[in-house]
Amino acid sequence: MTLLRLALRLGRVGAIATGLIGAAGAIAQPLAFAQLRGDTPADQAVFAQQMEILARQLTYILPTAHDLGTMAGWIEWRAIGAMEIVAAVWALIAATGAGRGDEERGLLEHWLAQGVSRLRYIASRIAGFAVLGIVVSAVTLGAAGLGSALAKDPLPPGPLVLQAVALLGLVLCCYAIALLASQLVITRRSAVAVGGGVLLALYLVDVVARSDGAEAIRWISPFWLYDQNHPLTNGGALDVPRTIALYASGVAIAAAAVAAFIGRDLGGALLRRPPRDARPTLAPSRDPLLRVPVLALLDQQRTALSVWALVLAGLALFFLSFTRTLVDTMLATPTFRVYLERAGLASYTGFIGIQWFSTLVLLLSIYAIVQASGWAADDQEGRLELIVAQPVSRTRVVIERLGALLVAGAVVAGLSSVALVLGASVADIPIDVQHVALGTGLAVAVVFAFGGLGAAGVGWRPRMTVTLLGAVAVTSYFVQTLAPLFDWPGWVSDLSIYALYGDPVSGTVDFVRSCALVGIGVVGSLVALAAMSRRDIGA
């Protein structure tokens, strides 16, 4: 039981954060639905039609919607649907921590020296995460039931329990995939990259399947298997064969991860390259980029940067694939035209600015958080100590990190916008290129804000940085979403970094809020410089 308690203790922070995210959305969304749907049957019917049209163009981030005119359909789509991504990220972080993080920190070696077998260790970590997964799933769906009750449209507990069963299956399957990926590399950073890449590819398969594509391979995606379950809107019934397949695939992949963990060397990878005969040399690398500040850091992460740029560019093109048809259809309907004009979506540029760029800044903030996680890992794993021993000043370390992050953010955002503009030209969708460029530039300011906060966190408390940044991102998202619905004061809305970004693609830029966005990055950078100069490395 000692190892199980340790596993629960090591995983409690991620579980608490994930549970709070799920509970907050599951309570807030039913209350928002009660206010939005209207009082008369006619208003409710119009609202359902509008939301169904909106749901069609959000399939790249939310599952296919069903019965949006009902509380059950709204919770299933808006509250629980977003938990797919949150749960996958949590599973990725937890699995790489168990598969590589403990090893890098020397904890695994200590336990093995005490006579603990590898099988017992990895089994306790899997069991600990399973217990936390049950708690998080129960809390999320319990909060959904509470939210529906507060909105005076309660849902029966049976379908909520079945939805929690399906969600738990997805969480465990994602954990198993990331745990197996951790055995293929030798560092946690690489494990996050490989596991995250695999989960992203499987998620994109599901995204394509939501538009009736990828029929030949969609069954390999645990996200697709999970999306086939609609107990809240399907009379309280699960898709039993696909749910069993979800759990069975998780068990099989977890068993493969356990076998790989037992069979590999401590500190080594399961798949090792054959030794190459090469003469030792003291000559420096011929790569010229390694000699240029900022570019040296970008050169070391060129693969990950390329993946992020290509994926976001692909998502931009996917978004364009249904933009013209969707906007034209809504503009042709008088009721929807009034709705679009009030929401600022009556033009292609306005529609793209609100729908696509709000997603873009969210993804860019995730990219900044991932980079901050790498900075914290450099401190904990000894790489920062080697860098400053060159000698390299700590001030230069902070400035180079932020410079590389801004350049990388500009590359990712710029390429996605170039793909957007070129795709719009090919599809004959008229958009304002200057406004798109303005929105792209301010998106980099969002990266700077998160980067400054991340650098400050790494200079102060490296191990808490990712958790705190995640809390900032989640809080900003919910504040931006809920403030207009509940008519909160303007100063509450301004607490959200995404609200400070606004909607520059429409051509309206709030100079004060934009300066505040940049100011967050500047203040964070100054705090990082001061904290890094005073804190002991590794402390």
Domain assignment present for 403: yes
Percentage, residues of the chain above pLDDT 90: 22
Residues 356 and 262 placed together within one structural domain of the fold: no
Residues 501 and 468 placed together within one structural domain of the fold: yes
From 271, 302, 333, give the residue that closes a domain: 271
* CB contact at 8 A, 220 and 307: no
**433-437 long-range Cβ contacts below 8 angstroms, 24+ apart:** 435/349, 435/353, 435/504, 435/505, 435/506, 435/507, 436/349, 436/352, 436/353, 436/505
From 236, 271, 306, give the residue that closes a domain: 271
Residues 319 and 463 placed together within one structural domain of the fold: yes
Residues 327 and 476 placed together within one structural domain of the fold: yes
Whole-number pLDDT of residue 109: 84
Instruction: Kindly report which listed range (208-217, 276-285, 423-432) carries the lowest average pLDDT score.
Output: 276-285
pLDDT at residue 192 tops 90: no
Residues 175 and 213 placed together within one structural domain of the fold: yes
Dist CA 80 CA 76 (whole Å) = 5
Return the structure tokens found at 156.
Answer: 């029966």
Residues 457 and 488 placed together within one structural domain of the fold: yes
From 271, 305, 337, give the residue that closes a domain: 271
Domain assignment present for 33: no
Residues 226 and 94 placed together within one structural domain of the fold: yes
Q: How many helices (H) and strands (E) does the chain have?
A: 22, 0
Return the structure tokens found at 239.
Answer: 């898709």
Return the structure tokens found at 402.
Answer: 């932020």
Instruction: Kindly report which listed range (201-210, 319-328, 523-532) carries the lowest average pLDDT score.
Output: 319-328
Q: Average pLDDT in the 15-26 region? A: 86
Structural domains counted in the chain: 2
Please count the CA atoms within 13 angstroms of the CA of 335 that sit on its side-chain side: 10
Other Cβ atoms less than 10 A from the Cβ of 90: the count is 27
Backbone angles phi, psi at 187, to 5 degrees: -130, 155
Domain assignment present for 64: no
Whole-number pLDDT of residue 485: 63
* CB contact at 8 A, 73 and 234: no
Dist CA 342 CA 484 (whole Å) = 14
Name the most confidently modeled range: 91-105, 251-265, 362-376.
251-265
Domain assignment present for 282: no
More confident: 483 or 29: 29
**pLDDT mean across residues, the chain:** 83
Residues 306 and 169 placed together within one structural domain of the fold: no
Q: Average pLDDT in the 150-162 region? A: 89
Task: Tell me the whole-structure pTM to 2 decimals.
Answer: 0.80
Domain assignment present for 31: no
Residues 118 and 257 placed together within one structural domain of the fold: yes
Domain assignment present for 30: no
Whole-number pLDDT of residue 335: 56
Domain assignment present for 63: no
Dist CA 79 CA 22 (whole Å) = 8
- Alpha-carbon torsion (40, 45, 50, 55), positive or negative: positive
Return the structure tokens found at 22.
Answer: 């799920």
More confident: 466 or 142: 142
Percentage, residues of the chain above pLDDT 70: 91
Domain that holds residue 435: 291-539
Residues 323 and 253 placed together within one structural domain of the fold: no
- Name the burial class of residue 67, with classes exposed (0-12), middle (13-18) and buried (19+) by CB atoms within 10 angstroms of its CB: middle
Domain assignment present for 319: yes
Q: Average pLDDT in the 147-159 region? A: 88
Dist CA 51 CA 65 (whole Å) = 9
Residues 156 and 253 placed together within one structural domain of the fold: yes
Residues 166 and 302 placed together within one structural domain of the fold: no
Please report, for residues 90, 204, 301, the alpha-carbon distance to residue 307 in angstroms, rounded to integers and kept in the order given: 21, 13, 10
